[in-house]
Amino acid sequence: MPHSHLPTPKRILVTVSSAAALGLAAACLVVVGAGAQTRTASNSNVRSPRDAPTAARRRVKSSSQLVSADPRAQYLVIKRTFEQFIDEIAIEGPDLNQYYIINCISGREYLGVSDKDPIGRLADLAYHVVYIENVLEFAGYPKSVWRAPLLELEKQELAFRLGRMRYKYSVAEYDLEEERIYVARKKILRAVIKHRAGGATRLPKIVEQDGCGAGEFVIKIRTVPAGGRVNIIPVFFYELCKAQRLNPDDSAQCDRWREPVEGVVTEVVGDYFYRVSWPDGARRSGRLSFTKLQPDQTVTFRKP
């Protein structure tokens, strides 16, 4: 399995886009037989995770079990991993003089998990905090303006989510969670607007996104010859398993490798590692980016 090369933090990519046009595409994968046009995949200031309790680490074996055993410590691991990837997350805005305080990607999409997975709620919060911090630093706003309300948002939401890790949310409760985040984010936004109006008009405006369109589309996947077994994992999750001191290539430890269920994998964002095996023992592995793929495009994995 190849190792990802994470870029140096703070080398920011700035894009100007509508709510629907995001630098990292979300997709659904469908495994199909031969046919359709194809594209051939190529080979290719928080506590340190070391401070996580060692007793819990001795008792558990997989990435998911680590999160269940000590979700607070694992939240910090997730957050640190997002901080490594911040260079790959586009800062968006309606024009070059305005940036959105948050974009339309969620943390759970980076991990490739559904709303029902408890780690998704931790990932959503970590991503939210890291993205807001990054965009405000990039825009030039001093930490004294926004740091306190951002920490307050993180502290309150983390406490709430840790208390409900094993609780299955209803749709209404998800809506309430989004509303709490929105209200807390507005407090940050008001502080930023007040600072800019007080003599810092040279700084770009920070605004809310009006809304997010449907981000998912379908990508078809086939193997040549047919019969290959495809497994994929988000690069983010691969790096997260390494940060958890797990073997990211061992699917028993790094238990986020997955193959299509009834031919479909949903919530695919950004870059993934893949591995393909054929009945005769042939194997292929590498890295695949969904960022530049088009809806209904087919990715072909060919036996080496």
The Cα 216–Cα 207 span in angstroms is: 24
pTM above 0.85, yes or no: no
Q: Are 168 and 60 in contact (CB under 8 A)?
A: no
Residues 224, 233: Cα–Cα separation, whole Å: 21
Q: Where are the domains of the chain?
A: 65-207
Mention every residue, 6+ apart, whose C-beta is less than 8 A from residue 92. 15, 16, 17, 22, 23, 99, 100, 103, 209
- Find out whether 228 and 304 touch, Cβ atoms under 8 Å: no
Nearest to 34 by CA among 232, 284, 300: 300
User: DSSP secondary structure string, 124-149?
Assistant: HHHHHHHHHHHHHHHHT--HHHHHHH
Residue pair 206/191 in contact by the 8 Å Cβ criterion: no
pLDDT in tens, the chain (304 residues): 444 333 333 333 333 333 333 233 344 444 444 444 444 444 444 344 444 445 544 555 799 889 888 999 999 999 999 998 887 777 888 888 999 998 888 888 877 777 677 788 899 999 999 999 999 999 999 999 999 999 999 999 999 888 877 666 666 777 787 888 888 999 999 999 999 999 999 999 999 987 675 555 667 778 899 889 999 998 989 999 999 999 999 999 999 898 866 556 666 777 889 999 999 999 999 998 877 777 677 888 899 9
Q: What are phi and psi of 100, to 5 degrees?
A: -75, 140
Residue 130 CA to residue 111 CA, distance in Å, equals 15
The residue ranges of DSSP E strands in the chain, in sequence order, are 26-31, 38-40, 98-100, 205-207, 218-224, 229-234, 264-269, 271-277, 283-289, 298-302
